[in-house]
Structure 1
Amino acid sequence: MRIGILGGTFDPIHYGHISPAMEVKQALALDKILLMPNHIPPHKQQPNITIAQRLKMVDDVCQQLDGFVLCDIEAKRNTPSYTVITLEKLKSLYPEDELFFIMGMDSFLQLQSWYEWQHLFDFAHVVVCQRPGWQLDMSHPMQQILTARSQSALEEPARYRQQNSGLIFPVTVTPQDISSTRIREQLAKGEIPTDLLMPVTLDYIQNQRLYLP
């Protein structure tokens, strides 16, 4: 089985998370996508609502989308959500499957600041979502890593068929100018961002009176 993994604070989860994940799922013929809320994100400020509330919103979304599944492995951890530790655990849970860790190009550019980042490739492939026509500057330190490990989603050479981790799959996705910060600001002003959130998410936020000033 080919399993995509998308982590995030999901504070709240919105189309900027969902739409690229759907495009990656189709581009790489993934069997399912694990949506994985962080409990204690090491690279961001702490979320504005509880982990239980964020788990509920993500689970509601997963119930609406075919092939999307809530993963609470990081939510249960009371230490920072270091990705390499998570992937090692997931690989032990899915030893026969291919794992595809999904990130944006902005995160990939900062990957060298992540805890034991080199070992991410021991447990999974990395999927880098990029804007149409975007190219990494040849002088950037991550360019060598991208070149050495890059694999087209349209090709399946022998090395890919024999390798179930360690490759990078750049996937061009539709640009999404959406941020959780912007959504929280709108909600605090009493604005209803119906075009940014799935209806089930908006219903939960309104029922729970979340993100009010």
Structure 2
Amino acid sequence: MQLAVFGGSFDPVHIAHEAIVNEAVKELDIDKLFVVPTYLNPFKNSFHFKPKIREQLLKKVFFNNQKVEVCDYEIKQNRAVYSIETIKYLKNLYNPSKIYLIIGADNVKNLNKWYKINELKTLVDFVVVSREGFIDSEFAKFKNLKININISSTKLRNKIDLNFIPIQIKEDIIKLQRNKKG
């Protein structure tokens, strides 16, 4: 069994996240792709939407994809969880022959700051998702997926643009934003 893991805040989930998952399922030789929403990213100190809400939105987006499963491991920990913990959890649960860890190109320059990065490198093959403005010489060292949708969750938190929200959750995002303002 070969797995891929795509973790992140997904705060909010957007069409680039959806495109990354679809491209990974198509391009990587995998049996299952786990989308893993963080409770709290170890490099951040807050979140916009609560963890359970982000998990529910992800489940709606990927409901019809048989190869994709939203994994609530990190959310259940009720704290920031390091990638290596999640990888070890999935490795113990499924005993895969290979695990791909999908990260955005913007993360490559900070990989050396990741907790137990040297051990993590022995457990996974990194797959880097291209993103304009973040491609450098380090990028070429990794297997990569090319997705060029110029959006980030940060931009969407500042101003929700429904053009970048997956159709399955547009109504949810409208309601959630209304509740945040009200």
Residue type of the alignment partner of 2:164:
L
Give the SS at the match of 2:162: coil
Larger mean Cα displacement after TM superposition, 123-132 or 109-118? 123-132
Larger mean Cα displacement after TM superposition, 35-44 or 194-203? 194-203
Please say if 1:180 is aligned against 2:153.
Answer: yes
1:119-138 equivalences in 2 (<5 Å): 119-131=119-131, 136-137=136-137
- The ranges of structure 1 where at least 4 consecutive aligned residues each deviate by more than 4 angstroms after the TM superposition are none
CA RMSD of aligned residues (A): 2.3
* Residues 13 and 58 in structure 2, CA contact (< 8 A), matched pair in contact too: yes
Q: Which residue of 2 aligns with 1:200?
A: 168
CA distance in 1, matches of 2:179, 2:73: 24
Q: Which residue of 1 aligns with 2:78?
A: 78
Normalized per residue, the structure richer in helix is 2
1:1-213 equivalences in 2 (<5 Å): 1-131=1-131, 136-137=136-137, 143=138, 150=141, 169-187=142-160, 193-208=161-176, 209-212=178-181
Give the SS at the match of 2:34: strand
* Residues 129 and 147 in structure 2, CA contact (< 8 A), matched pair in contact too: no
Residue type of the alignment partner of 2:143:
P
Give the C-alpha shift of residue 27 in structure 1.
Answer: 1.6
The count of aligned residue pairs is 180
Give the SS at the match of 1:75: helix
Say which one has the larger Rg. Answer: 1
Give the SS at the match of 1:96: coil
Larger mean Cα displacement after TM superposition, 87-96 or 58-67? 58-67
Give the SS at the match of 1:43: coil
- Any unmatched runs of 5+ in structure 1? 138-142, 151-168, 188-192
Give the C-alpha shift of residue 88 in structure 1.
Answer: 1.2
Q: 1:204 to 1:131 in 2, by over 3 A?
A: closer
* Residues 105 and 130 in structure 1, CA contact (< 8 A), matched pair in contact too: yes
Give the C-alpha shift of residue 44 in structure 1.
Answer: 2.3
Residue type of the alignment partner of 1:39:
Y
TM-score, structure 1 as length reference: 0.75
Residue type of the alignment partner of 1:127:
V
CA distance in 1, matches of 2:150, 2:65: 22
* Residues 131 and 172 in structure 1, CA contact (< 8 A), matched pair in contact too: no
CA distance in 2, matches of 1:28, 1:51: 28
